[in-house]
Amino acid sequence: MPANKLMRFYRFLLPFDSLTIATNLTYSEVLQKLDEIIEPPQTFSMALQFQKSHKPYQGTFSGNTFQIRRIISSYRNSFLPQITGEISPQAFGCSLKLRMNLHLAVMVFLIVWMSLPASMGVLSLLVWLVDRSVGLIFLPLFGMCIFAWSLSLIGFKIESKRDIKFFSNIFTS
């Protein structure tokens, strides 16, 4: 399977998104715009629920890279994208590369949580292939896995589309 098809298959299966923005802004102008929209991370997330933030993102800078996430206070979403960005100076402006993934803890939780129904589903499928009188018990087990996967994918994609639109509007205008 060629690498391009493998990458598309990977993007289809896992909550992942990326975006590259070419802008006419200089490196210092890009840093200034990012400083206008990113505030330092809060030590307790509960503080954000009671304090109105004036910036839409929180995170950290390190050289020409940054790690941020959007601040949401009116609802909860465990599938909120964690954005890693890299700023690259170009001959005429800059290039921003954004990669969006699920938080590592959420990904680990989903894998651990779904390992039991997935393994039981595989075992019951093998038993069903040997003895058809057992019944189709593997269908609801695989259904649970598909439901958890689609829930995480849809929750992530809704939020990542908002982030893509936000960054596209800021750096292409």
Residues 6+ apart with CB under 8 A from 37: 55, 56, 57, 170
Examine the pLDDT at 130 and tell me if it is beyond 60: yes
In the prediction, which pLDDT does 65 show? 93
Residue showing tokens 């400083």: 35
pLDDT at 50 over 60: no
Output the pTM of the full model. 0.81
In this prediction, residue 172 carries a pLDDT of 82
Which residues neighbour 92 within 8 Å (Cβ) at sequence distance 6 or greater?
24
Of the chain, the percentage scoring pLDDT greater than 70 comes to 90
Inter-residue contact 80 to 69 (CB < 8 Å): yes
pLDDT per position as a tens digit, 142-156: 999 899 989 999 999
In the DSSP assignment, the letter for residue 40 is P
State pLDDT tens for residues 11-36: 667 788 888 999 999 999 999 999 99
* Percentage of the chain modeled with pLDDT above 90: 49
| pLDDT at residue 134, as a whole number | 79
